[in-house]
Amino acid sequence: MSLPDKAFPVSWDQFHRDARALAWRLAGLGQDFKAIVCITRGGLVPAAIISRELNIRMIDTVCIASYHDYLNQGETSLLKPISDPLLANGGEGVLVVDDLTDTGKTAKEVRAMMPKAHFACVYAKPKGVPTVDTFVTEVSQDTWIYFPWDMGFAYQEPIAKVRD
């Protein structure tokens, strides 16, 4: 298995700063979100940060599995639905949070459940951008984001290879 050439490693500090930047953008919308629905697992960490920053106490999850290996996104599978009260009125007043929108497949599935919710993610790739309302950083489609919860400490090859 070979991984994509473009790597975007994100440290815990950087992710925290980016999630807070997302909270600032959301606060600037002037909306009073009544709840957060985080898309697990990636949405758990930014949802915790955003819930603190925006003082949102009601947090639910929707559990959808889609990545089955590091190269291929398989069919989605709903493992846990959103609670009925948050689905009322199409999810109006609900903030849906994820770490990344890649192809937008997962966001489209959740948007079908909650068409009036506001969708936000920390990072977005071009194919996923149309599926979210707010994000912080866009990366190219062929970039693999290494989130801090997926990494250990290891040497990283330089972008330009050393010539002999």
Q: Using one digit for the tens of pLDDT, what is the confidence trace for 9-29?
A: 999 999 999 999 999 999 999
Segment 106-129, tens digit of pLDDT: 999 999 999 999 999 999 999 999
Q: Among all chains, which residue has been given the structure tokens 């009925």?
A: 84
Q: How far apart are CA 141 and CA 43, in angstroms?
A: 20
Among 84, 99, 133, 164, which one carries the catalytic annotation?
A: 99
Stretches in the chain below the pLDDT threshold 50? 1
* Catalytic annotation present for 99: yes
* Catalytic annotation present for 69: no
Among 5, 13, 60, 102, which one carries the catalytic annotation?
A: 102
Q: Among all chains, which residue has been given the structure tokens 């990366």?
A: 139
* Catalytic annotation present for 142: no
| Domains of the chain, earliest start first | 31-150 (3.40.50.2020)
